[in-house]
Amino acid sequence: MTITRDNQAIAAAVIAMVAFNGVFLSANGLFMLIDPLAWYELVPGVTDTGFFNQHFIRDIGIIQLFLGVAFVVGMTMPERRIGLWAAATLWLSAHALFHFWEVAVGICSPSALPRDFPGVTLPAIIGMVLTFWAIRRSPAEKSASA
């Protein structure tokens, strides 16, 4: 396989997306685990979703941490990449769709969507792009190693 500028650009974009999801999700999860009250009070819109529940925030923090680690491990272990990224992306996508559903049924105002986009919808979109990239690339990797 010859390395071209296009390949370099794609590789850089993949690394940037994995870094975003890996670092953001892991850091968010650690923040939720270490100081759930500060997380609850500091993240825009969270206080509008209900009362503070330390246990629930830490439960979701564990999930966020595992999702971030899944993206990093998937980058370092190509043979596990599709499964790790697809599983993480399914959860992120369901979470994003739940936010859209809350707006659709009137639980939240439409202003919640742009507010939540960076932390909810963007990681799901990035996960989809990465997962489809990994799926598309998988046959090429298999034929190159044969």
Q: How far apart are CA 43 and CA 39, in angstroms?
A: 6
Helix-helix angle 122-145:5-34, to 10 degrees: 130
Please state, in angstroms and as integers, the Cα–Cα distance from residue 11 to each residue in 5, 18, 43, 124, 130, following that order.
Answer: 10, 11, 32, 19, 11
Please provide residue 72's backbone torsions phi and psi, each rounded to the nearest 5 degrees. -65, -45
Q: What are phi and psi of 40, to 5 degrees?
A: -60, -40
Q: What pLDDT is attached to residue 88?
A: 98
Between the CA of residue 13 and those of 110, 126, 144, what are the distances in Å? 30, 10, 22
Exposed / middle / buried, residue 114 (Cβ in 10 Å: 0-12, 13-18, 19+)? exposed
pLDDT at 67 over 80: yes
pLDDT number for residue 2: 56
What average pLDDT does range 26-51 have in this prediction?
Answer: 96
pLDDT, residue 138, reads 81
Contact of 88 with 71, CB cutoff 8 Å: yes
Q: What is the pLDDT of residue 112?
A: 95
pLDDT for 140 equals 61
Which amino acid, 88?
A: A
Contact 124, 94 (CB under 8 A): no
66 — pLDDT class (breaks 50, 70, 90): very high
**pLDDT tens, 87-118?**
999 999 999 999 999 999 999 999 999 999 99
